[in-house]
Chain A
Amino acid sequence: MAKIKGEIVVDVNRCKGCNLCVVACPTKTIALTRGEVNHRGYAYCHDVGGACIGCAACATICPDGCISVYKVKLSD
């Protein structure tokens, strides 16, 4: 079966740390930083699990459009 691997790229300074992407992620891949903030003072989301499947739920629900999603099918 083909495995799917995804990656997210976060526009860190656009993020407002609303946490909606964290709730929407089905694989718990995305989380907010603890203690670290962007240049507007918000905690921002980032990839933590490495289990991304490229479903783009986080990016779809993000009100600020700060997440880009990439996806590849691994054939093995």
Chain B
Amino acid sequence: MTKEEIIRPENLVYEKPRLMNDNYMHYCPGCSHGVVHKLVAEVIDEMGMTEKTIGISPVGCAVFAYKYIDIDWQEAAHGRAPALATACKRLWPDRLVFTYQGDGDLACIGTGETIHALNRGEHITIIFINNAIYGMTGGQMAPTTLVGQKTATCPYGRDPEIHGWPLRMTEIAAQLEGTSYVTRQSVHTVAAIRKAKAAIRKAFENSMNGKGSNLVEIVSTCSSGWKLSPEKANQWMEEHMFDYYKMGDLKDV
């Protein structure tokens, strides 16, 4: 069988999600953001919510998320995405509203908004990309940076005596009454990607069914910030991040 006979629409197994447009993504090579964007686009398309979804893009590397997925978007001020999502969802209860935030946005400047939106049980989903560093601004220490991890602003490694301990936002969210589904996933292997997709789907469905707020943390890599190749960054994540940030569902009501 020739190549031309195989490459036909009826034999297609996988292609770029329909909702992702042809804009080149500005992310660094191998960045986990791209994979999560694909998952979000696939889930929205599969749920048939293309015309009824509002994404809230953050400040951080994913600030241009609205350029890549063809749904309605709102750009929030730094850390304020959950507050904006609250407004969108309360005014338009039939819309699927989600925020897409990094760890600098969600766990640092936006901690208050995040915790209160989750605690109020707003029917939204927060997708939280945790790569333990400030990627966009040049690799500074984030609240989620691991103990001993070297960054631009802690070149000798994070020292809890000086910098405090890494913040586990997902564990905090799991304690709140308002949350319905709180999970931590990653996207470094095909199996992990499939699980993460199922988690995002469940969170979106919960928020549409009025079950409460949902948090999906994706432990991610930042190969540029960590100064590793994408492949080595995945290995580093498996060796170091997974010890502190444990995979799995923390709360499922």
Show the binding face of A for B, using Cβ within 8 Å.
5-7, 9, 11, 13-14, 16-20, 23-24, 40, 42, 54, 56-57, 59-72, 74
The residue among A59, A65, A67, A69 with the most chain B CB atoms within 10 A of its own CB is A65
> Nearest Cβ distance between residue A62 and chain B, in whole angstroms?
8
Among candidates A11, A17, A70, residue contacting B6 with C-beta atoms closer than 8 Å: A70
Report whether A65 and B29 are in contact in the complex, using a CB–CB cutoff of 8 Å: no
Report whether B35 and A5 are in contact in the complex, using a CB–CB cutoff of 8 Å: no
Report whether B8 and A23 are in contact in the complex, using a CB–CB cutoff of 8 Å: no
Report whether A59 and B230 are in contact in the complex, using a CB–CB cutoff of 8 Å: no
Report whether A63 and B33 are in contact in the complex, using a CB–CB cutoff of 8 Å: yes
Bound-state CA distance A13–B16 (Å) is 14
Report whether A18 and B30 are in contact in the complex, using a CB–CB cutoff of 8 Å: yes
Bound-state CA distance A74–B31 (Å) is 36
Report whether B6 and A56 are in contact in the complex, using a CB–CB cutoff of 8 Å: no
> Nearest Cβ distance between residue B46 and chain A, in whole angstroms?
15
Report whether A69 and B13 are in contact in the complex, using a CB–CB cutoff of 8 Å: yes
Chain B minimum-CB-distance residue to A15: B29
A-B contact count (CB 8 A): 93
Bound-state CA distance A40–B27 (Å) is 13
Report whether A60 and B14 are in contact in the complex, using a CB–CB cutoff of 8 Å: yes
Is B201 part of the binding interface, using a Cβ–Cβ cutoff of 8 Å?
no
Report whether B27 and A63 are in contact in the complex, using a CB–CB cutoff of 8 Å: yes
Among candidates B3, B7, B17, residue contacting A65 with C-beta atoms closer than 8 Å: B17
Is B15 part of the binding interface, using a Cβ–Cβ cutoff of 8 Å?
yes
Q: For chain B residues 1-51, which have a beta carbon within 8 Å of chain A?
A: 1, 3, 5-8, 11-17, 20, 24-25, 27-35, 38
- Give the size range of B's interface with the partner: 35 or more
Is B193 part of the binding interface, using a Cβ–Cβ cutoff of 8 Å?
yes
B35 proximity list for chain A (CB < 8 A): 61-63
Query: Can you add 16 more A-B contacts, CB < 8 Å, to A19-B229, A42-B29, A62-B34?
Result: A5-B6, A18-B29, A19-B30, A24-B190, A57-B190, A61-B189, A61-B190, A63-B29, A63-B30, A63-B34, A65-B17, A68-B12, A70-B11, A72-B1, A72-B6, A72-B11
Bound-state CA distance A72–B12 (Å) is 9
A11 proximity list for chain B (CB < 8 A): 16
B16 proximity list for chain A (CB < 8 A): 11, 65-66, 68
Bound-state CA distance A59–B15 (Å) is 7
> Nearest Cβ distance between residue B8 and chain A, in whole angstroms?
7
A65 proximity list for chain B (CB < 8 A): 15-17, 20, 34, 38
Report whether A19 and B230 are in contact in the complex, using a CB–CB cutoff of 8 Å: yes
A16 proximity list for chain B (CB < 8 A): 28-30
Is B238 part of the binding interface, using a Cβ–Cβ cutoff of 8 Å?
no
Is B231 part of the binding interface, using a Cβ–Cβ cutoff of 8 Å?
yes
